[in-house]
Amino acid sequence: MDMAQIHRDAFKEEAIELLADLETSLLELEENPDDAELIGCAFRSMHTIKGSGAMFGFSDISELTHEIETVFDQIRSGSARVSKVLIDKTLKAGDLIRAMLSGTEQVDEIERQSLIADFRALSVSVHGGQPHRTAETSMSSLGEKNIEEKLYRIRFKPSPDIFLTGADPLLLLKELRELGTCRIIAHLTDIPSFDIMDPERCYTYWDIILSTSRGVNGIKDVFIFVEDDCELRIDLIDDSGAAIDKPTYKKLGEILVERGDLTLEDMEQVLRNQKRFGEILVESGLAAPSKVEAALVEQQQIREAQQKRQNSESSASIRVPSDKLDTLVNLVGELVTVQARLSQTAAQRGDQHLAHIAEEVERLTAELRDSTLNIRMMPIGSTFSKFRRLVRDLSQQLGKEVEIHTEGANTELDKTVIERLNDPLVHIIRNSVDHGIEDPDSRVASGKPRQGTVFLTAEHSGDSVIITIKDDGKGLDKEAIRAKAIEKKLIPETAELSERELFALIFAPGFSTAQKITGISGRGVGMDVVKQSIEALRGFIDITSQKGKGTTITIKLPLTLAIIESLMVKIGREYFVMPLSLVEECVELTQADIEQTHGRNLAKVRGALIPYIPLRERFRLGEKNLGIQHVVVTEIAGERIGLLVDSVIGEHQTVIKSLGKMYRDVQGISGATILGDGSVALILDVPQLVQWG
C-alpha cells in the first residue's frame, strides 16, 4: 500500500469519528439550539472534513460539506438560527457522507445534489434571496461584530516527501486565508539548482502571520491530516483581548531567535561588539548589580515557564490499526501460556534459582497482560451515542414522543465486546420504543406524561459490566405471553411458571405477542438472536417487568474476551475452567449428603437447598464418584445453581481459544485453554449449562 492510500484511509477513519461527533452535537443542539459550543463543534466537524476531503481527492464530499459549513457559519455569526429542518438535513447529509466514505454501496448522486441545493436554499433564505457568502465574507462579518481576534505566528515546514502522500500545501494555505487576515512569506533558500532538483519533493516552507478569532485549535484543524508529515509551530504573538497601557515591540534579534532563524549564540556574538544594557546601567550607576541580576533571573524564569507551557500542548497519542492490536493481544496470550509452563517446570524441578526467575517472569507477564488489555478498553459511550439518533428516528416514524437518557458512558469494555454488543442493543431499544412505549394520547389517558423515556445505563460490577435498558411504558402482559406460549406449544396448559420463567419465553425463536407486523418489529425475529449474541459474549440477559409501569432488561457481560480469571475444576481425568466472576462459593458434597436428598440433585448450602447439575453424568465421563465431591455454586439470572465436580483445583489465568468448526455447536462448552503442561482444558459455558440442565 502506498503512502497516498495510507493517508486516504487515515482521512476516512478521522472523518467517520468527526461524523459521530457531529451527530451527537446535532442531537444535543436540537434540545439546546442556542448553545454556541455545540454550534461551533458542528461547524468545525464540517470544516475539517471539507478541507481534508479536498486535499485527499474527495471533491464530492468537500462540495457538500462546504454548503453545510456555510450555513453553520451563518448561525455562528448570529445571522441564522438552528431549526428542525436544518437538523434533519444535516443528519441526512451525515449518513450520505458516511456511505460515500465506506465505498461499499452506490451513492445516490441525485440525493447528493438535492442536499446541496437544500443547504444553498437555507443559506439564501437567510439573506433575503442574496447568494450565500463565502467563508472569507463570513469572517469579515464576524469582525464587524467585534469578536476578538488574536495574532499568531505559524511556521509550516512540510516534509520533503509530502507530495507522495497526496497532500497539497497550497490548499492548506488557502484554508488558512479563510480563517482570517493573513500574510504568507515563502522561504526559498533550500531550493537546489535545477539540474539536481527532484520535482516530486517539496523544498519550500512558509511563515504565516494570521489574525483570527478561531484560536489555536481552529488553526490546528487545518493541518490535522499532515501533522505527522511536517514541522508545525503556532505561537500567539499578540492578544487583542489583553489590556495594554503602551504598545510593546520585540527586538529584531528576539524575533529571529524565536523563529529559529538565528541562534542565540550568533545573536550574542553580534551583541558582544557592543556593551550589554545591564552593563551600561551598572557602569553609569543607574542600577545596582544585584537589581540587574534579579531582573535577568525573572526574565529567564518567564521564558522557561512559557516554553514549558507550550510544550505541554503537544499531543502524545498515536493511532494503531485494530488488527495490529489484536495481534498483540494474541501474542500476550501465548506468553501467558508459556509463563504457566515455566512456573510448572520450576515447581516440578525444585530449582530455587529457576523458581525466582519464573516468579519474575510471572510478575512481568501479568503487568504486560493488564496493560495490553487496558489498551483494548474503550468507553461504551461510543455505542451509546448512536442510540439517540435511533430513538429520534423511531419516534418520528411511529408518531410517538420518546427520549433516551444514558448514564455510565465512560464505563469501559473490551473493544470486541462493544462491537458485538451494538446489534443486540439496537434490537432491544427498537422493541422498547415500538412495543413498550405507548402513543402520547394513551399515556395521557393513563396518567403518564406524553413523552416516554428509555433509560440506558452501564456500570462496572467486579470484572463484569452490567448494562440496563429500562422504559416507562406499558410493561409485559404475562397472560398474553402465557397464551402465546401455549399456542406455540412451548409450554403445556397446566405448566406453573414463575414470573422470571414466563418472561424468559420471549427469547424463544419466533415468539411475538404483537397484534400486527410493522416495518420495525412484530415478526418474532430479534429477541432470540439477542439472547444468542449475549451468550456468545459469555454474558446473560434477564427481564423484569411490571404491567403499566415498564420493563427492565439487564445484561451482564465480561470486561474482556481474551484473557479471564477462572476457577479450574477436575472431573475424572479431565480439567475444566469456568469464569471466576460467576462463582459464589464451593462446598463439599459427601455420599451421605446425596442419600439424604434421595437422588434429587439438591445440596444443602447454609440452610438452603440448591439444585445442582452433575457434570460427570452430563458429559458422560465414566461411572459415578462415590467419594467426596464438590458443588461450585453460581448465580445466573438471580437464581443460585450448583455444578457438581470431583474436585476444585483453584484459580487459573485462562487464555481463551475458540473451538474448531466441528465443535462449534457442542452444548455447555464455550472454548478451550492450554494448561502449563500442554494439555487442553475446556471452558464451561455456565449459562448454557444451566439452561440445558
- Greater confidence (500 vs 633) lies with 633
Model confidence over 340-353: pLDDT tens digits?
A: 889 888 888 888 89
Total Cβ atoms within 10 A of residue 558? 22
Averaged over 568-582, what is the pLDDT? 89
Q: What's the 3-state SS for 389-435?
A: HHHHHHHHHHCCCEEEEEECCCCEEEHHHHHHHHHHHHHHHHHHHHH
pLDDT at 493 over 70: yes
Q: What is the pLDDT of residue 244?
A: 44
Alpha-carbon gap, residue 420 to 423, rounded angstroms? 7
- Measured CA angle at 203 (ends 198, 207), to 5 deg: 165
| Unique residue bearing C-alpha cell 495510507 | 6
Alpha-carbon gap, residue 122 to 445, rounded angstroms? 40
Q: What is the pLDDT of residue 246?
A: 44
**Least confident stretch, 41-45, 103-107, 569-573, 679-683:** 103-107
Helix (H) or strand (E) holding 151: strand 150-158
Q: What is the pLDDT of residue 524?
A: 42
Contact 487, 481 (CB under 8 A): no
Q: What is the pLDDT of residue 16?
A: 85
pLDDT at 675 over 50: yes
| Confidence bin at 632 (pLDDT 50/70/90) | very high
Alpha-carbon gap, residue 304 to 53, rounded angstroms? 39
Helix (H) or strand (E) holding 119: helix 109-126
Q: Residue 436 gets which letter from DSSP? A: I
Sorted by where each starts, the structural domains of the chain and their CATH numbers stand as: 3-143 (1.20.120.160), 148-241 (3.30.70.1110), 322-378 (1.10.287), 380-558 (3.30.565.10), 563-692 (2.30.30.40)
| Confidence bin at 296 (pLDDT 50/70/90) | low
pLDDT at 68 over 50: yes
Contact 224, 17 (CB under 8 A): no
Averaged over 680-686, what is the pLDDT? 88
The cell numbers describing 288, all together, are 545596582
Bridge partners of 650? 568
Q: What is the pLDDT of residue 685?
A: 85
Q: What is the pLDDT of residue 305?
A: 56
pLDDT at 658 over 60: yes
Q: Report the range out of 4-13, 108-117, 235-244 with the highest average pLDDT.
A: 108-117
pLDDT at 389 over 90: no
CA dihedral sign of residues 256, 259, 261, 267: positive
Strands 230-239, 150-158: pairing is: antiparallel
DSSP string spanning 206-275?
EEEEEEESSHHHHHHHHTTTTGGGEEEEEEEEEETTS--SS-----HHHHHHHHTSS-HHHHHHHHTTS-
Q: What is the pLDDT of residue 523?
A: 37
The cell numbers describing 501, all together, are 420463567
Alpha-carbon gap, residue 199 to 262, rounded angstroms? 29
Q: What is the pLDDT of residue 553?
A: 93
| Confidence bin at 522 (pLDDT 50/70/90) | very low
Q: What is the pLDDT of residue 245?
A: 44
pLDDT at 572 over 50: yes
Q: What's the 3-state SS for 367-385?
A: HHHHHHHHHHEEECHHHHH
pLDDT at 127 over 60: no
Dihedrals φ, ψ of 201, to 5°?
Answer: -115, 150
Q: What is the pLDDT of residue 24?
A: 86
Closest to 424 (Cα-Cα) out of 559, 536, 550, 579: 536
C-alpha 511: how far from its chain's center? Answer: 34
Closest to 408 (Cα-Cα) out of 557, 563, 580, 532: 557
Averaged over 221-230, what is the pLDDT? 81
Model confidence over 526-543: pLDDT tens digits?
A: 688 888 888 888 788 889
| Residues contacting residue 8 through CB under 8 Å, at least 6 positions apart | 56, 57, 166
| Confidence bin at 98 (pLDDT 50/70/90) | confident
Q: What is the pLDDT of residue 496?
A: 83
Averaged over 588-612, what is the pLDDT? 87
Model confidence over 404-435: pLDDT tens digits?
A: 998 988 888 888 888 888 889 999 999 899 88
Strands 412-414, 464-471: pairing is: unpaired
pLDDT at 209 over 80: yes
Q: What is the pLDDT of residue 467?
A: 92
| Confidence bin at 288 (pLDDT 50/70/90) | low
Q: What is the pLDDT of residue 645?
A: 93
| Confidence bin at 311 (pLDDT 50/70/90) | low
| Confidence bin at 306 (pLDDT 50/70/90) | low
Q: What is the pLDDT of residue 470?
A: 94
| Confidence bin at 587 (pLDDT 50/70/90) | very high
- Greater confidence (475 vs 522) lies with 475
Alpha-carbon gap, residue 493 to 622, rounded angstroms? 38
Q: What is the pLDDT of residue 624?
A: 81
Chain-wide mean pLDDT for the chain? 80
Which amino acid does the sequence have at 608?
Answer: A
Q: What is the pLDDT of residue 491?
A: 86
